[in-house]
Structure 1
Amino acid sequence: MSLYEIAFSGQLVPGAEPEQVRANLAKLFQADAQRIAVLFSGRRIVIKNGLDGATAEKYRVAMERAGARAEVAAMEVEEVELAPPPAPEPAPVAAPAAAPGRLKVAPRDEYMAAFSEVDAPDFGMAPVGADLQDERPDPAAPQVDLSQFSLAPVGSDMGQAKAAPAAPPPDTSHLKLQE
């Protein structure tokens, strides 16, 4: 499938007024004056790329109606061939063990030759679904002496602070109403 790009380099269709074309393109692209000024900078600006032929032609026609001469160019799509996956490295060959439960590994290259005399434990593979964590005993509940505590009967006072008694009403005997 061929892909196209639509570009604009500031050229107008014959007889078009530059200010009217700027206004038309601003309305067409819903862009501000600064973006429209970039379009008319004289450089080739790619408006949209990755278009099929019909869509690129629609863009070109719309821009020509606005008064701008657009350029439709085929995009160069580079075919990339993916590299085959790397071949799996051969598994290290186990030499006869020096001691039971120990594995002796032959070095695969000169860099690994420095580790040829390393004595490593021979860890086996657990079957699928096996629990790999060591067994732990259940934690013991702490022994707490609660004998000094008791429960109060239902509805009893639990020691809430008592409200202060209300203050006596003020003495108003000396006050008189005037008529």
Structure 2
Amino acid sequence: MPLFEIAFQGQLRSGVTQEQARARIGQLFQVGGEQLDVLFSGRRVVIKQGLDQPAAEKYRQAIERAGALCNIDAVEPETNDAQVPPTSPSKLLSSNAPQPGPNPHRASEAEPRDAYVAAFKDVEAPDFAIAPVGSDMQDDYVEFTALPIDLSAFSLAPPGADLDELKRSADAVVPNTDHLKLQD
């Protein structure tokens, strides 16, 4: 099964300011300050690696909703004798599964390949899911409590009643403007 990585170079969607994107990305990945500076430096930063295609697509959609653009790149699995083969279940753990303790045979426990990846080593991004079609997306309803307002002084007009503005009893006084002139 091919694995993918999410790479970001500070590119923004049209109509989104950098401040907006920084705030949204910071909230999405629960990072701030120095890590956001690294993300928006313009250099290629790998945010997450070792993902399958659907998980990588979820990350891309979440990042785009936050106002930024990212790349999904296929990753060639490294092969050497000290690592578990890529088809091993320990290699394909999802991001929302509990991670076991240190294992010298797991490739995911290796040191980050550069300082930019190291900045995101301890970031736990949420694993967003899509609700099935027809799901109720509303939060649980809060029990309604009627307010103690007395509306007994109000009434409704009968059907067909004239609802225009009430007629004024006195005619309005129109001021005399004959002495005013317009000049160029």
Normalising by structure 1, report the TM-score: 0.44
Larger radius of gyration: 1
Q: Larger RCO: Structure 1 or Structure 2 (Cα < 8 Å, ≥ 6 residues apart)?
A: 2
State TM-score, norm by structure 2.
Answer: 0.42
